[in-house]
């Protein structure tokens, strides 16, 4: 239906630059998620695309047309707000009808369209209810319905699920994903919840302080974080990061890395690190193995049992804290010693500037990228 | 055995006597409040009712006696009474229309960002802090006086003949003065109401293609409807009894052109010394106020329901 292109978009409030030059091309029917910590500018960027914020510099193109100065209603975009922003004094039907009525659509056409959308979203029984009489999930659906009836070229979602409880959020996530498959509309979705990002996105854009840290598919970000920020941000529990030093490089590309009491050799591609430099060793909690013969020793301080998995917080002999993810049948208790080994092929290595060094190992789904 | 055991504590408790003494205690503790209510509202009401049925004129206090309904008859058939009712309605309606209409627009305006908004807000609210008597005197002598009033000077400056507002258009001028006093109240209530309007709602309306006017009609006004009802109710209660402004500026004149119900009662009692007739007017005023209040409360209740 539509492509969206951002060309070096910038936003300046007074003297402070909030969005520092973002370029991005979104293809037709793509589901793109903006993630980042609060204050990273993701919502501002979305509002700039919606037309609710002025664009200070750069170009915004929808279907190849520059829409920087086009009125929000004429951009062909529809937005679902975090607070839903339903009109409280209008019933569900009137909420969805509002934009169509303003556009001067004939009554019969409006009725038909709203009927169709209400059926898709299972809102038929609630058409004459007011938003105040609906539950959170129903309000959410009305807000989505209000966006759909306009038949927009691009859907914008601003943290739409953050006001729902955990169970409903999971359910709405699935509904949104299947709705996207069904409508096939180009979608831009802002969230701070990485589960939403990982599960729904075709591509994720990680933002930090107004710049793009990395753009890629969910698995790409998870397995090939471009820098420490992305490594830290994607994944829960977060990746363990240990300050390290590269001791030596063997001719076959193994880097001997020392991080406190931990010593590992990591396979790297050539042209990687140099011996003697400082950096950071990263390893995800699920890639640390409990091993009675392991070289790494520590003490379990807390064990979080989530049922399916167990998270062990371990204090290493050199005082560093790491998190180990293991099965739900784990029996290690707090204040007991433990021995660990690192899955060396899963280790990440970052240089002194926090940029990732190329890795040899990869996820099977990523091999064709 | 079991049943007896269950019943035993019940029969043992000294329920009757305790409850009675507690009731007496409660009555004693409530009585100061009840006494206050009696002295300040019920006694005057009863006295008014009593006087309204008697011949009682301060010009000749010796002529007393039961008057039956002649006080009421005399009042209701008096053409001045009808005029005063009409004037009351015009005064209430006119002030409501100006203060709510203009107040809504001003509230929207003062909700926008502009330089010096804080000072402007204080200025728009300040007339509310001026006593009615002082405000009326200000308007009568400083603003509208045909010889040394500010407006007269302004009119002369552009070559127009000054107008003696209070004698040419007494009721309209009073409506203006009272509206000037009550506009701040409306702005204050409506401004606080408008500030609670979710900005995302306005943005959603903007994305739905609503311009400024459509946003105002479809989003802002419905949001303000409760606040507007509250303003109308409170203002009506006070506007029914406007007195100081009339007494200071026109004294109800010329003739009875600016006499409302409250001023009519005052003039009966303290200008014509007819206590009986004034009391009958007071009773009529109470009836009128209650009819209006019943309608208003019903409207407000309906509006607050949803």
Is B59 among the domain residues? no
Greater confidence (B178 vs A367) lies with B178
Evaluate if residue B300 carries a pLDDT over 90: no
pLDDT bucket at B149, cuts 50 / 70 / 90? confident
Mean pLDDT of B211-233: 89
Task: Answer yes or no: are the C-beta atoms of A256 and A247 closer than 8 Å.
Answer: yes
Residue with tokens 């000054």: B162
B43-78 pLDDT tens trace: 888 988 888 888 888 777 777 878 778 888 888 888
Q: Are strands A186-190 and A154-158 parallel, antiparallel or unpaired?
A: parallel
Matching CATH number, A4-231, of 3.40.50.300, 3.40.50.720, 3.30.540.10, 3.20.20.140: 3.40.50.300
Evaluate if residue B112 carries a pLDDT over 90: no
Per-residue model confidence (pLDDT) at position A272: 61
How far is the alpha carbon of A16 from chain B, nearest alpha carbon, in Å? 20
Per-residue model confidence (pLDDT) at position A313: 94
Is B271 among the domain residues? yes
Taking the Cβ of residue B197 and every Cβ of chain A, the question of whether any pair is shorter than 8 Å is answered with no
Number of A–B residue contacts, CB under 8 Å: 60
CB contact under 8 A, B206 and A73: yes
> What are the residue boundaries of the structural domains of chain A, listed by start?
4-231, 232-366
Is B68 among the domain residues? no
CB contact under 8 A, A99 and B306: no
CA angle A17, A21, A27 (to 5 degrees): 140
Is B32 among the domain residues? yes
ipTM over 0.85: no
The DSSP annotation for A58-111 comes to EEEEETTEE-TTS-GGGTTEEEE-TT----TTS-HHHHHHHHHHHTT--HHHHH
Residues of B in contact with A82 (CB under 8 A): 200
Is B67 among the domain residues? no
Per-residue model confidence (pLDDT) at position B270: 81
Task: Answer yes or no: are the C-beta atoms of A201 and A180 closer than 8 Å.
Answer: no
Closest CB to A87 among B206, B207, B219: B219
Per-residue model confidence (pLDDT) at position A270: 57
The CATH number that applies at residue B84 is 1.10.3720.10
Per-residue model confidence (pLDDT) at position B6: 46
Per-residue model confidence (pLDDT) at position B176: 92
Per-residue model confidence (pLDDT) at position B10: 47
Task: Answer yes or no: are the C-beta atoms of A45 and A35 closer than 8 Å.
Answer: no
CB contact under 8 A, A87 and B222: yes
Per-residue model confidence (pLDDT) at position A361: 59
CB atoms within 10 A of CB A364: 7
Q: Which domain holds residue B124?
A: 78-305
Per-residue pLDDT of chain A (369 residues; tens, 9 = 90+): 689 999 998 999 888 888 888 999 999 999 999 998 888 888 999 999 999 988 999 899 999 889 888 888 888 899 999 888 899 889 999 999 999 998 888 999 999 999 989 988 888 899 999 998 898 888 988 999 999 898 888 999 998 888 888 888 888 888 888 888 888 889 999 998 888 899 899 999 999 998 999 999 998 889 889 899 999 988 888 999 988 888 877 777 778 888 877 888 887 765 566 777 888 889 999 999 998 888 888 999 999 999 899 999 999 988 889 999 998 888 888 899 999 988 888 888 888 888 887 666 566 677 654
| Co-location of B163 and B274 in the same domain | yes
Is B60 among the domain residues? no
Domain count, chain B: 2
Per-residue model confidence (pLDDT) at position B13: 47
User: What is the CATH number assigned to the segment(s) A232-366?
Assistant: 2.40.50.100
Task: Please measure the distance between the N-terminal and C-terminal CA atoms of chain B and give it in whole angstroms.
Answer: 57
Locate the DSSP E strands across A284-336: 288-290, 296-305, 309-316, 321-327
CB contact under 8 A, B208 and A150: yes
CB contact under 8 A, A87 and B206: no
pLDDT bucket at B191, cuts 50 / 70 / 90? very high
Residues of A in contact with B210 (CB under 8 A): 73, 98, 102
Residues of B in contact with A132 (CB under 8 A): 306
CB contact under 8 A, B306 and A130: yes
| Co-location of B195 and B251 in the same domain | yes
How far is the alpha carbon of A357 from chain B, nearest alpha carbon, in Å? 44
Is B281 among the domain residues? yes
H or E segment to which residue A180 belongs: helix A166-183
């Amino acid at each position: 239906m539509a492509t969206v292109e951002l060309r070096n978009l910038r936003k300046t409030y007074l003297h402070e630059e909030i969005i520092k030059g973002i370029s991005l091309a979104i293809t037709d029917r793509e589901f793109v998620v903006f993630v980042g910590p609060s204050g990273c500018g993701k919502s501002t960027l979305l509002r700039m695309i919606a037309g609710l914020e002025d664009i200070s510099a750069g170009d915004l193109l929808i279907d190849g047309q520059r829409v920087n100065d086009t009125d929000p209603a004429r951009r062909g975009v529809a937005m679902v707000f975090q607070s839903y922003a339903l009109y409280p004094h209008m019933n569900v039907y009137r909420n969805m009808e509002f934009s169509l009525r303003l556009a001067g659509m004939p009554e019969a056409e409006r009725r038909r369209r709203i009927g169709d959308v209400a059926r898709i979203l299972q809102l038929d029984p609630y058409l004459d209810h007011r938003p105040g009489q609906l539950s959170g999930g129903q309000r959410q659906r009305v807000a989505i319905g209000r966006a759909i009836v306009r038949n927009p070229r691009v859907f914008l979602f601003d943290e739409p699920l953050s006001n729902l409880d955990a169970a409903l959020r999971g359910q709405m996530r699935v509904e949104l994903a299947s709705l996207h498959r069904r409508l096939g509309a180009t979608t831009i979705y802002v969230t701070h919840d990485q589960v939403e990002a990982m599960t729904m996105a075709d591509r994720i854009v990680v933002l930090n302080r107004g710049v793009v840290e990395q753009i890629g598919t969910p698995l790409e970000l998870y397995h090939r974080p471009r820098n420490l920020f992305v490594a830290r941000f994607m994944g829960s529990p977060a990746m363990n990061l240990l300050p390290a030093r590269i001791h030596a490089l063997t001719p076959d590309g193994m880097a001997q890395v020392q991080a406190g009491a931990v010593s590992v050799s990591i396979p790297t591609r050539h042209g990687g690190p140099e011996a003697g430099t400082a950096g950071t060793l990263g390893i995800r909690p699920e890639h640390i193995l409990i091993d009675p013969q392991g070289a790494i020793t520590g003490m379990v301080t807390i064990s979080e049992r989530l049922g399916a998995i167990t998270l062990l917080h371990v204090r290493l002999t050199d005082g560093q804290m790491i998190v180990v993810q293991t099965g739900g049948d784990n029996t290690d208790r707090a204040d007991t010693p433990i021995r660990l080994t690192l899955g060396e092929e899963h280790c990440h290595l970052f240089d002194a500037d926090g940029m990732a060094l190329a890795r040899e190992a990869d996820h099977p789904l990523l091999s064709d990228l | 055995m079991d049943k007896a055991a269950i019943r035993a504590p019940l029969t043992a408790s000294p329920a009757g006597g305790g409850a009675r003494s507690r009731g007496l205690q409660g009555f004693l503790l409530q009585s100061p409040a009840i006494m206050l209510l009696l002295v300040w509202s019920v006694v005057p009401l009863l006295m008014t009712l009593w006087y309204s049925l008697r011949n009682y004129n301060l010009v000749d206090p010796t002529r007393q006696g039961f008057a039956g309904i002649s006080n009421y008859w005399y009042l209701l058939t008096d053409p001045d009474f009808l005029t005063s009712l009409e004037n009351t309605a015009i005064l209430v309606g006119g002030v409501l229309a100006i203060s709510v209409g203009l107040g809504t627009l001003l509230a929207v305006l003062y909700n926008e960002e502009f330089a010096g908004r804080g000072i402007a807000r204080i200025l728009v609210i300040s007339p509310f802090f001026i006593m009615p008597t002082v405000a009326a005197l200000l308007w009568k002598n400083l603003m509208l006086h045909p010889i040394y009033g500010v407006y007269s000077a302004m009119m002369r400056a552009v070559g127009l003949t000054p107008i003696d507002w209070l004698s040419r258009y007494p009721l309209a001028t009073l409506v203006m003065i009272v509206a000037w006093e009550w506009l701040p109240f409306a702005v204050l209530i409506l401004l606080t109401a408008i500030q609670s309007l979710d900005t995302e709602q306005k943005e959603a309306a903007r994305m739905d293609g609503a311009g400024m006017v459509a946003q105002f009609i479809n989003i802002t006004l419905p949001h303000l409807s409760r606040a507007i009802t509250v303003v109308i109710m409170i203002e009506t209660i006070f506007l029914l009894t406007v007195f100081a402004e009339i007494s200071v500026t026109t004294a109800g004149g010329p003739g009875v052109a600016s006499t409302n119900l409250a001023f009519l009662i005052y003039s009966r009692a303290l200008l014509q010394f007819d206590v009986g007739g004034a009391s009958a007017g007071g009773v009529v005023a109470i009836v009128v106020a209650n009819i209006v209040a019943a309608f208003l409360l019903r409207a407000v209740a309906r509006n607050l329901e949803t």
